[in-house]
């Protein structure tokens, strides 16, 4: 029994190193060298093919604009203040209840202040009335960084924060800032009609992508009260001269056009569900993405 054990032990030790044949794990030094050389060349070729295909692919794409955008969804519509549960609930007499909303709006509008748009090498005045798209050349490095249109806070009227630092919240008339999310190269196409889905647009302009805020449900439409819109030229929407967007590399200081909406007489102590919707020929909506082209928010003003 002991002799068999010793023989077995000697067998695996001999397999690890055979001193007679000078073999390690059943192979001589020359054999190990050949197999290692083979795998070094084999995996080196694989790495070379991989790196080569990546380099060829990089030659076909631009760092300034995606080569293919056919699967890019229409831009989303979002609101400020940005809240987690899309619920705005506050008491006008209690500043603490709306402090977070006001702080969120102030932080967002900071880059829209006049002092932040002083550099004339970057910012330009694109007019006080809506106009057609601003074409700034191709999507490449020449002629370098593109200029961007200024956007004045005063265009947001009562929701600019210039005259009312509470943005209407202290009076129970909350403001919501609306923006269209950035999509590189996107040119919004306004609707051709001045009436959509049974809602007459407040102020139609062929150079404005219109936005309307209404009660989401029938019972909400009776409780939403009057809605005031503040935007460039007094139009409820986004003017076309701010499009297209050229991306972070070519327009690092780009400012999206904004639309401010103020709800001036919401029914008190009632949760009102508001839906804001952008209308355009290339604006779509999706049940899977509730922010695509629209959003809804619950607002409750407590007495």
**What pLDDT, in 10s, does the model give residues 40-63?**
999 999 999 999 999 888 777 776
Q: What pTM was computed for the model?
A: 0.77
What is the structure's pLDDT at 222? Answer: 85
Where is 221: in which H helix or E strand? Answer: helix 218-223
Cα–Cα distance measured from residue 15 to residue 24, given in angstroms and rounded to the nearest whole number: 7
What does the DSSP 8-state code read for residue 79? E
Task: Return mean pLDDT, the chain.
Answer: 85
Torsion of CA 149, 154, 158, 160, to 10 degrees: 60
Rounded average pLDDT over 81-93: 87
pLDDT of 142 above 90: no
What is the structure's pLDDT at 71? Answer: 58
Rounded average pLDDT over 126-139: 88
- DSSP, collapsed to helix, strand or coil, labels residue 252 as coil
Nearest to 271, CA basis, from 98, 90, 92: 90
Cα–Cα distance measured from residue 124 to residue 145, given in angstroms and rounded to the nearest whole number: 13
pLDDT of 83 above 90: no
What is the structure's pLDDT at 198? Answer: 55
Cα–Cα distance measured from residue 166 to residue 162, given in angstroms and rounded to the nearest whole number: 10
């Amino acid at each position: 029994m002991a002799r068999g054990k010793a023989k077995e032990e000697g067998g695996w030790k001999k397999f690890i190193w055979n001193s007679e044949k000078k073999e390690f794990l059943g192979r001589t030094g020359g054999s190990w060298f050949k197999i290692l050389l083979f795998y070094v060349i084999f995996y080196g070729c694989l790495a070379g093919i991989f790196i080569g295909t990546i380099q060829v692919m990089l030659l076909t794409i631009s760092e300034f604009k995606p080569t293919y955008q056919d699967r890019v969804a229409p831009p989303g519509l979002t609101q400020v203040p940005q809240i987690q549960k899309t619920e705005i609930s506050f008491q006008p007499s209690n500043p603490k209840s709306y402090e977070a909303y006001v702080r969120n709006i102030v932080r967002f509008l900071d880059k829209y202040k006049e002092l932040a748009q002083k550099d004339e090498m970057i910012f330009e005045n694109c007019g006080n009335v809506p106009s057609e798209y601003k074409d700034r050349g191709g999507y490449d490095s020449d002629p370098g960084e593109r200029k961007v249109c200024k956007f004045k806070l005063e265009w947001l009227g009562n929701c600019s924060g210039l005259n009312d630092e509470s943005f209407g919240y202290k009076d129970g008339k909350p403001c919501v800032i609306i923006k269209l999310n950035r999509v590189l190269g996107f040119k919004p196409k306004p609707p051709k009609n001045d009436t959509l889905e049974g809602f007459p647009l407040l102020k139609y302009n062929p150079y404005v992508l219109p936005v309307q805020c209404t009660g989401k449900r029938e019972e909400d439409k009776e409780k939403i009260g009057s809605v005031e819109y503040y935007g460039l030229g007094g139009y409820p929407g986004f003017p076309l001269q701010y499009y297209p967007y050229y991306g972070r590399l070519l327009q690092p200081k780009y400012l999206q056009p904004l639309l401010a909406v103020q709800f001036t007489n919401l029914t008190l102590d009632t949760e009102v569900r508001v839906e804001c919707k952008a209308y355009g020929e290339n604006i779509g909506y999706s049940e899977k993405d509730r922010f695509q082209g629209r959003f809804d928010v619950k607002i409750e003003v407590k007495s």
